[in-house]
Structure 1
Amino acid sequence: MLRAVSLFSNVGIAETYFADLDIHVAVANELVPQRAEFYRHLYPKTNMIVGDITDAKIYSQIITEAKKGPVDFLIATPPCQGMSIAGEMNPYDERNSLVKYAIDAILDLRPTYVLIENVPQQLTTPINYEGTEITIPEYIEKRIGAFYNINAEKVLDTMDYGVPQMRRRAIFLCADKATGINWVFPKKEKHIVTLEEAFAGIPDLWPNIKEKEYRNVLPPNTPEALAFNKWHQPMTHVWRNVECMLYTPTGNTAYDNPVHYPKKTNGERVKGYDTAYHRMFWNKPSSTITTYNFRIGSQNNVHPGSPWKKDENGDMMYTNPRVLTIYELMIVSSLPKDWDIPQWATDNLIRTVIGEGIPPLLIKKLLLQII
């Protein structure tokens, strides 16, 4: 069994398949108490230390507990909101410097293997080191390059490894030089899992409508569809957003609709990027799942849908004018269909942590390179 440490742990999505690999996370750290409690629910045998790693007392506690046994593996997924194109894209966001604490921990614990994961923008993000501004990859190389072999190729797309989601990530794979191992990415897989394959057998769902006067416009969901899975339940959307997606074909944006385009409450056309109010494609993996996966008007969030029927004007309408259900998010994020979500977790919390989590099937396949 490999003894591991997890930093910036979220709810432990990356660790989902560790048990399959005989990896036990002995110590984990998460800032947000609610997420830490979610983690404890999933991994009751892990010593979860809740608090800010930048607090000297919390950091010391992490290191002290980790040193109670050998540390074979360390995984760190520092927050990416400051770098992400779905976030603020501020290169000087203080959260971008949290990687420093991961590197401090690596030097204090000297794990045999290390995996650091973030958005590709990390590779060009500046960070201050000894009074000089350098990129994060240069910073990592300067601090631990003497002790670890670090992979040269650092960007991959999860869809190339059996995950039905297009999600580019920057990943540092580090192996202690004493092992003689150069830990690299696996070969890309030839088969790309599309949504047509991933969603096979999942019943259609109509969204719930917020405004009472529009609640009878769409057909009711069948009892069979609602009973399919506890987490396959429709979200509630405002009618004007549902209406524009009702007339939007698979793989298209409602901005291109001549009549049923995105509107404000006063009927004025909404302006924005053409990735918004956008349906996914059946013949591709899903788009990148973000923390805003509950919004029809955010990036590529809407179910692909299928032709339904023509209205009185002869215009085609399409099914599933809604965002993905939590169950569908689990599928495209490579989480198990019986993922043990705690009963107390809110839909908002679940959607947010899935949007921030790296697909665990990718992590499993990366670790298989060294197991």
Structure 2
Amino acid sequence: MSKNTSGPLAGIKVLELGTLIAGPFCARMLAEFGAEVIKVESPDGGDPIRKWRVLKDGTSLWWSVQSRNKKSLTLNMKHPQGREIARKLALEADIVIENYRPGVLEKWELGYEQLKALDPSIIMVRLSGFGQTGPMKDLPGFGAIGESMGGLRYVSGHADRPPVRVGVSIGDSVAALHGVIGAMMALRHRDATGGKLKGEGQMVDVALYESVFNLMESLVPEFDHAGVVRERTGGSLPGIVPSNTYTTSDGENIVIAGNGDAIFKRLVLAMGRIDLAGNAELERNDGRVKHTQMIDDAIQAWCDTQTIDSALTVLKAADVPAGKIYSVRDMMTDPQFLAREMFEQHQFADGTPVKLPAISPKLSATPGHTKWLGPTLGQHNDEVLQSLGYTAAAIAAMKQDGVL
């Protein structure tokens, strides 16, 4: 099967009005799969993420990934002409993605209902801390707050210590993925009702805390029906035994998921624990749960006799799911990552090489593709504005007037 490198979203135009993580990550995924994404940035420094974490020549390395394939347009949204240009772009777009506080776009006359009155087919993905309705809608909401309110922070960490955060901005990223899913469903509905010219658009209302809450498995029915509040349990998975993190003799951490009934038997036999394999009470998960500590102690005692490599060899031979906890250094040389081509080699403008994570998911016929790294601030000003009919003289005047 031949591959279409233009991407499955070729022909889809996206306007990104947002900064930092949730909105830009949502738009990034659409750009990776062929959509034309025009990112509006403030002329005064652009998206703050340009200065986050590790920098190269004054620009974040993160930026090269977060804004790949996007076109950067600077607009002063405090200027009437800047808002006018944004409105023109929004009405040309298939999808508008924004992550301002609710009400900001309305003040700019760029709100969903305002644009819908002019183009009923428009799709707007709105990402915010608490959604577009409710008593908290006007409050600032970052990913950390969404993770806390959505339940993730409460169950993360060890029982005798304060909650911990995941080492990445998971709340923002999960919200972004919900935005992508919502946008694709909205596009499908619009196509089914007449397409861009006649179809029905809609608003995709994504709240960060709700996106996290959506991941919380059986949390609600367990509390409602049984009064169970899921608590922090470190590296274990309560109620599913065994599934935990253990330490090998060379100080490495290994995750062993022996919680399937047949898998558990293979695990303990591989450990030489025939007594556990023959214990009828341990044949099913509900029986093993009653002996969680004993089982974990037995696995840890076995790991104390193994290096990480020997443990993985034994468990692989026994067909027991297990894995070392990887750092990025481990990933960069791992045969599985390399076989799946999970790194892309690129160059910065000065010729310096840089690796980026490859695009996921992998589509067999229309895979994603990196066309260029994150753009310089305002790199596409002339191109975008000329596409709207502005002349070179008009663009020069707007630069002079502080619009761009």
TM-score by length of 1: 0.32
TM score, norm. by length of structure 2: 0.30
Larger Rg, first or second structure (1 or 2): 2
The structure in which a higher percent of residues are helix is: 2
